[in-house]
Chain A
Amino acid sequence: MTSTEIAAVRPARTPRRSGPRSTLTRSSGLGLGIAMIWFSALVLIPLAAVVVTAVDGGWDVFWSTVTNGQTAAAIRLTVLTAVGVTAVNVVMGPLIAWVLVRDRFWGKSVLEVMIDIPFALPTVVAGLVLLSLYGQDSPLGVDVANTRMAVFLAFLFVTLPFVVRMVQPVLEELDRDVEEAAASLGASRFTTFRRIVLPSLAPAIAAGAALSFARGVSEYGSLVLLSGNLPFKTEVTSVRILSSIENDNVPAAAAVATVLLAISLAVIVLLDVIQRRVAARG
């Protein structure tokens, strides 16, 4: 009896359960309503208020605020440093993840915990922590406090976990048979890595890089003690916004904040696209 084969020949259409149609029940709809009210009150309306305040004075005012010398310098420093830090993370993140997943040695679990420390540590404490090794009283004799190097270092510290933690689970799931198959087909270890492993890790690296860039651009707490906030030199965008707030120049603060928001939104959109791409790949 082979009639089960017949079943296989027919197109096995699985019922599609997703669609634009709502499957909310009355109580879940009510729950969604309450959640949306809270989310709007806490996040959406306040962020909208930033944009509204920024464009209130018109496009010209917005543009002149954002391109004002000191502000522009702050934005340039922030973005360029974040790009540089992200580049380092793109190299170091997968490397560390690789060591954590594929290598075995005594003390590995300590490294594992270290990855999470920058994430859990209060940012102001992070600044203080870096200051203790790279500040005035540095036992290494390297004093980078109040320099651009300090900004770079602070970003590097707070963004450490993102790429590592995105890549690690993907690397763990990676089917080693595929690598062995590549090797059996004559590929060198480097070729296997470049042609087989790297493409699988690419979405995770990209997502981690996006998060680490966004985090860098928006960083504030770790810099207050470390960078000295010198205008035109080590002042980052967040600090610039804060000083506008403290000088009661709210429109200017909102204008610069809108630039940061735009960057955040771009990252969110990028993340969403990456996630869908990965989901589609299965």
Chain B
Amino acid sequence: MSIEVTGLNKKFGDFVALDDVNVTIPTGQLTALLGPSGGGKSTLLRIIAGLEKSDTGTVTIEGVDATDLPAQKRNVGFVFQHYAVFKHMTVAKNVAFGLEIRKRPKDEIEHRVQELLKLVHLSQFSHRLPSQLSGGQRQRMALARALAVEPSVLLLDEPFGALDAKVRKELRDWLRRLHDDVHVTTVFVTHDQEEALEVADEIVVINEGRVEQVGTPDQLYDEPANDFVMSFLGEVTHFGGVSLRPHDIELETSPKLAGSVEGTVHRLVRIGFEVRLTVLTVDGDEVAVVVTRAHARALQLREGSTVWLTPAAGATVVPRMAAAV
């Protein structure tokens, strides 16, 4: 196991950022720390990197107790949301920084820098200053800089958060492929569930300073541990005291299935190939249901239609929490 975090607590003043966090991050995997803003995931990442000190608890990296080790001795690569480029150094100098600190021979540094710049497609920019690069290019440079020192783990704090949607998506695909090539244990923080589901091998969901669930993207999506995880990873509706996905509700115009609940279509919106319905049930629930356009047409649905709803067989269902959103 590459990173082991046990019993971590961290407070900023009265604000509890981390509350008894225990996580194990497997070697060679791409792990996402996913959760809402202010939930403590960045704090956890910074504690792993040694940029923040925990109040209690231990951090072990590659079997070495790193709890009291300063950041400079942890051999982690860290990539910041806002790039943290060294503004007064050229791209090549930025990437070479860690190697120069380690007093590697000059020709080795040069060779390694060229190799890395090629990897991140910035070879032709090596003599430019960071201010002459776009945001996406700067972040790739920052990644090369972090990789240059051959870190035992690579930590990325909302690495694509400051980029626009298109570049973000490109970099996301590229990070996944890069990881498949380089295989360094990587942890990245994101609040974007789509990003986590698409890129990560494993996801740690963190909310209000606590770990809600750890698992593969499929596990989290199909077997969410609670209402929070479920709602954070996709659309959720509440029906008959449980939470479930809107597309996991069967809809008929007659009570064919046992246990179905009667309701009236209150609103009907067509979005591309799917149709979104808001159904008011006789039990007083307001349920969101998604059906295909063909299905809706076959049933001749319109606002005011009477329908019967049933949770689909095998649907992901969790009990509804009173406090849930």
A16-B193 in contact (CB<8A): no
> Which residues from B are CB-within-8-Å of A13?
15, 38
The distance from the CB of A273 to the nearest CB of chain B, in whole angstroms, is 24
B43-A4 in contact (CB<8A): no
> Which residues from A are CB-within-8-Å of B37?
7-8, 10, 12
Within 8 A of B (CB), among A11-30: 11-17, 19
Q: How large is the interface on A (under 10, 10 to 19, 20 to 34, 35 or more residues)?
A: 10 to 19
- Segment touching A, from B76-84, B230-238, B298-306, B313-321: B230-238
Question: With contacts A1-B234, A1-B235 known, is A7 near B36, CB below 8 A?
Answer: yes
Question: With contacts A1-B194, A4-B191, A9-B325 known, is A15 near B233, CB below 8 A?
Answer: no
| Dominant secondary structure of chain A at its interface with chain B | loop
A6-B232 in contact (CB<8A): yes
A3-B235 in contact (CB<8A): yes
Question: With contacts A12-B38, A16-B12 known, is A7 near B232, CB below 8 A?
Answer: yes
Q: Indicate whether A184 reaches chain B with its CB closer than 8 angstroms.
A: no
A16-B38 in contact (CB<8A): no
B13-A3 in contact (CB<8A): no
Pick the contact of B13: A4, A6, A8, A19 (CB < 8 A): A19
> Which residues from A are CB-within-8-Å of B12?
15-17
B325-A10 in contact (CB<8A): yes
> Which residues from B are CB-within-8-Å of A11?
38
The distance from the CB of A281 to the nearest CB of chain B, in whole angstroms, is 23
A12-B235 in contact (CB<8A): no
Q: How far, in angstroms, from A123 to B19 measured CA to CA in the complex?
A: 61
Q: Indicate whether B252 reaches chain A with its CB closer than 8 angstroms.
A: no
> Which residues from A are CB-within-8-Å of B233?
3
Q: Indicate whether A247 reaches chain B with its CB closer than 8 angstroms.
A: no
A13 to chain B: closest residue by CB: B38
Pick the contact of A4: B15, B17, B193, B236 (CB < 8 A): B193
> Which residues from A are CB-within-8-Å of B38?
10-15
The distance from the CB of B9 to the nearest CB of chain A, in whole angstroms, is 14
* Residue-wise interface mask of B (70-103) relative to A, using a CB-CB cutoff of 8 A (1 in contact, 0 not): 0000000000000000000000000000000000
Q: Indicate whether A109 reaches chain B with its CB closer than 8 angstroms.
A: no
Q: Indicate whether A68 reaches chain B with its CB closer than 8 angstroms.
A: no
Question: With contacts A10-B36, A12-B38, A17-B12 known, is A3 near B231, CB below 8 A?
Answer: yes
Q: How far, in angstroms, from A15 to B12 measured CA to CA in the complex?
A: 6
* Residue-wise interface mask of B (28-42) relative to A, using a CB-CB cutoff of 8 A (1 in contact, 0 not): 000000011110000
Q: Indicate whether B192 reaches chain A with its CB closer than 8 angstroms.
A: yes
The distance from the CB of B19 to the nearest CB of chain A, in whole angstroms, is 13
* Residue-wise interface mask of B (231-253) relative to A, using a CB-CB cutoff of 8 A (1 in contact, 0 not): 11111100000000000000000
The distance from the CB of B312 to the nearest CB of chain A, in whole angstroms, is 19
Within 8 A of A (CB), among B214-238: 231-236
> Which residues from B are CB-within-8-Å of A10?
36-38, 325
Within 8 A of A (CB), among B270-322: none
* Residue-wise interface mask of A (28-51) relative to B, using a CB-CB cutoff of 8 A (1 in contact, 0 not): 000000000000000000000000
> Which residues from A are CB-within-8-Å of B15?
13, 15-16
Q: How far, in angstroms, from A10 to B228 measured CA to CA in the complex?
A: 12
> Which residues from B are CB-within-8-Å of A12?
36-38
Given contacts A1-B235, A12-B38, A14-B38, 13 further A-B contacts (CB under 8 A): A1-B193, A1-B194, A3-B231, A3-B236, A4-B191, A4-B192, A6-B232, A7-B191, A8-B37, A10-B325, A11-B38, A15-B38, A16-B15
Task: List the 10 closest pairs (A to B, CB-CB), nearest first.
Answer: A7-B36, A15-B12, A12-B37, A13-B38, A12-B38, A16-B13, A16-B12, A3-B232, A10-B36, A19-B13
25 A-B residue pairings within 8 Å (CB atoms):
A1-B235, A3-B232, A3-B235, A4-B191, A4-B192, A6-B231, A6-B232, A7-B35, A7-B36, A7-B191, A8-B37, A9-B325, A10-B36, A10-B37, A11-B38, A12-B37, A12-B38, A13-B15, A13-B38, A14-B38, A15-B12, A15-B17, A16-B13, A16-B15, A19-B13
Which B residues are within 8 Å of any A CB, using their own CB? Answer: 12-13, 15, 17, 35-38, 43, 191-194, 231-236, 325
